[in-house]
Amino acid sequence: MGSSFGQLFRLSTFGESHGGAVGVVVDGCPPRLALSVEEIQRDLDRRRPGQSKITTPRDEPDRAEILSGLFDGQTLGTPIAIIVRNTDARPQSYENFKDTFRPSHADFTYEAKYGIRNWQGGGRASARETVGRVAAGAVARKLLMALAHTEVIAWVKQIYTLSATVDPSKVRVEDVEANIVRCPDAATADAMIARIDAARRAGDSLGGIVECVCRNVPAGLGEPVFDKLEAELARSVMSLPASKGFEIGSGFAGSQLTGIEHNDPFTTDASGRVRTTTNRSGGVQGGISNGEDIVFRVAFKPTATISQAQDTVDRSGNKVTLEAKGRHDPCVLPRAVPMVEAMACLVLADHLLRQRAQCGA
């Protein structure tokens, strides 16, 4: 239960952090979509550990293997199974605190729910699970581009108290990938990198905000009442490890505006297309896309695993002091960027297929 997502474009992820492999099965992808393992690998490389000095030193190549669903470089319309083998797992690193509940981890809650848990790196609760999401997101990204020329780009907007000044309408992929923190504001990126490195050396961690823009999204995507597009986006990104907040368009800041200040006036462009002159709605009105850029933000908490001493208890309720060991990100934000993109692509691909099935558009 809880490991599947989507209705028409549907995925199910599997695997644990220190098990043999992680992966995904994608069902509902239309046939005859040109797709290569290299396109999937491109996004996995952006997510993988060990890619810079400000990410976990766990060294996983994360090489994708497509087991089914493709033939002669095209999708068959049948389930696409993608697997990534764990090659640098070190479960023994967690042996010393297998009976200890690590602060702000899923140790206690998994045990409360199932009566058993995989203590090796958090098992299923580890961000390693997102390998399958990113692989599936790469398939969804290709489908969106083929059917609607939709582009999804995310970036790090804020680390701790350091916030970048970024115009979502102008961000390019190359700007995001120009530095290891994935912030398109070069000056702020340098400060972010230094701050993350300082936290790492102090045995601490930092949180922040990822911003995402979805361009060329057709108007009409989203389902009233419970499957509103922003609700689906919120659900998708809030299922990511360490996510703690979501806002779209003006977000919480919009609550400080009046109606006349916040409303997006309608007009028509040179081709007669209905547009809005502003985009405080973030591309979604009434739960349905309006054709403008969809802009949303996701807040991520500081990484829970830190090497500083912390008070906790063991499974018997005895008080213990925990000094966690292991290979962990001092800040999840740089690697969360492709995860946020993947979840946005998955939601949009699913709703695009639902719209085409319902309205033939």
Task: Give the relative orientation of helices 229-238 and 333-359 as an angle to the nearest 10 degrees.
Answer: 150
The one-letter amino acid code at 137 reads G
Q: Where are the domains of the chain?
A: 4-359
pLDDT in tens, the chain (361 residues): 789 999 999 999 999 888 889 999 999 999 999 999 999 999 999 999 878 888 877 778 899 999 999 999 999 999 999 999 998 766 666 777 788 898 898 889 989 999 988 887 777 888 899 999 999 999 999 999 999 999 999 999 999 999 999 999 999 999 999 999 999 999 999 999 999 999 999 999 999 999 999 999 999 999 999 999 999 999 999 999 999 999 999 999 999 999 999 999 999 999 999 999 999 999 999 999 999 999 999 999 999 888 898 899 989 899 989 887 666 789 999 999 999 999 999 999 999 999 999 987 6
CA-wise closest residue to 212 among 330, 339, 303: 339
pLDDT tens, 194-222?
Answer: 999 999 999 999 999 999 999 999 999 99
The whole-number pLDDT of residue 118 equals 83
pLDDT of residue 361: 62
Query: Which residue intervals of the chain are DSSP H helices?
Result: 37-47, 107-114, 130-148, 173-176, 186-201, 229-238, 259-262, 333-359
Give 156-183 as a DSSP string. Answer: EEEETTEE----TTT--HHHHTTSTT--
Amino acid 89: pLDDT: 67
Name the packing angle between helices 333-359 and 130-148 (round to 10°).
Answer: 50
Q: What's the CATH fold of domain 4-359?
A: Chorismate synthase, AroC fold (3.60.150)
Residue pair 77/350 in contact by the 8 Å Cβ criterion:
no
Q: What is the pLDDT of residue 119?
A: 81
How far lies 313's CA from each of 73, 120, 136, 253, 317, in Å? 53, 18, 38, 40, 5
Identify the pLDDT of residue 77. 98
Q: For residues 291 and 217, is the Cβ–Cβ distance under 8 A?
A: yes
Q: What is the pLDDT of residue 93?
A: 64
Closest CA to 298 of 354, 355, 244: 244
CA 181 to mean position of chain CA atoms: 15
- C-beta separation of 345 from 141 below 8 A: yes
